[in-house]
């Protein structure tokens, strides 16, 4: 089945602002340690590029953000706000810190497991935000640096890419540093996107 083929390394070896909208409609897959498969359709992303004051890679490489400076096609996971893990897809080339934050999914497979991890059962609310997404799919620091191209625990499948006219852009959520680009991408009017809407889509 074409839609279940994994995305290749070349897909990720581009600027985050190109990868982010192209991820919409793709399928994020998580295989739990016991073999259960969780999956969701990506409906919202944010791009972070080199030279971006809002990016973790803006200043220098550290043990926390080292994955972001590495090869494209790996998962960069960090902890924020004291209780949330955030999952990002590394883009560009080695030494060019660029990543796409996975902000929201439409649950497709393993919804019961996701609800158990989240402690609630509403499909609309399971993955409607980056912290919720990671909790629902059991993504934490242990998956930082996990390979998305050939790895066994988490990967991205081709799915059905969103049509260009179905993609809206807004300012990123909670970003107030420097000039704010329109680097949040979402499937227009999709009920599974997060509630963080900083401005009307253009």
- Tens digit of each residue's pLDDT (9 = 90 or more) over 82-132: 789 999 999 999 999 999 999 999 999 999 999 999 998 788 999 999 999
Place 62 in a pLDDT band, splitting at 50, 70 and 90.
confident
- Which pLDDT value is given to residue 202? 41
Nearest C-alpha neighbor of 185 from the set 194, 59, 79, 176: 194
Write down the H helix ranges in the chain: 9-12, 16-22, 111-118, 123-126, 130-136
Which domains does the chain show, CATH number per domain? Answer: 2-186 (3.10.300.10)
Q: State the Cα–Cα distance between residues 75 and 21, nearest whole angstrom.
A: 17
What mean pLDDT value characterizes the chain?
Answer: 92
**Residue-level pLDDT at 159:** 97
Cα 78 to chain center, whole Å? 12
- pTM score above 0.85: yes
């Amino acid at each position: 089945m074409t839609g279940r083929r994994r995305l290749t390394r070349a897909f990720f070896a581009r600027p985050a602002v190109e990868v982010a909208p192209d991820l919409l409609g793709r399928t994020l897959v998580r295989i739990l340690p016991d073999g259960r498969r969780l999956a969701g359709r990506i409906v919202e992303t944010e791009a972070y590029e080199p030279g971006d004051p809002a990016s973790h890679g803006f200043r220098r490489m550290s043990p926390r953000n080292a994955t972001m400076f590495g090869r494209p096609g790996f998962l960069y996971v960090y902890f924020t706000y004291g209780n949330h893990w955030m999952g990002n897809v590394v883009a560009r080339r080695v030494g060019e810190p660029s990543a796409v934050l996975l902000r929201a999914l439409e649950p497709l497979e393993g919804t019961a497991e996701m609800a158990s991890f989240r402690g609630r059962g509403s499909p609309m609310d399971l993955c409607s935000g980056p912290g919720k997404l990671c909790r629902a799919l059991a993504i934490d620091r242990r998956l930082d640096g996990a390979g998305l191209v050939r790895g066994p625990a988490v990967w991205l499948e081709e799915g059905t890419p969103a049509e260009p006219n179905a993609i809206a852009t807004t300012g990123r959520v909670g970003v107030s540093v420097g000039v704010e680009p329109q680097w949040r991408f979402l499937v227009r009017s999709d009920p599974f996107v997060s509630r963080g809407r900083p401005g009307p889509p253009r």
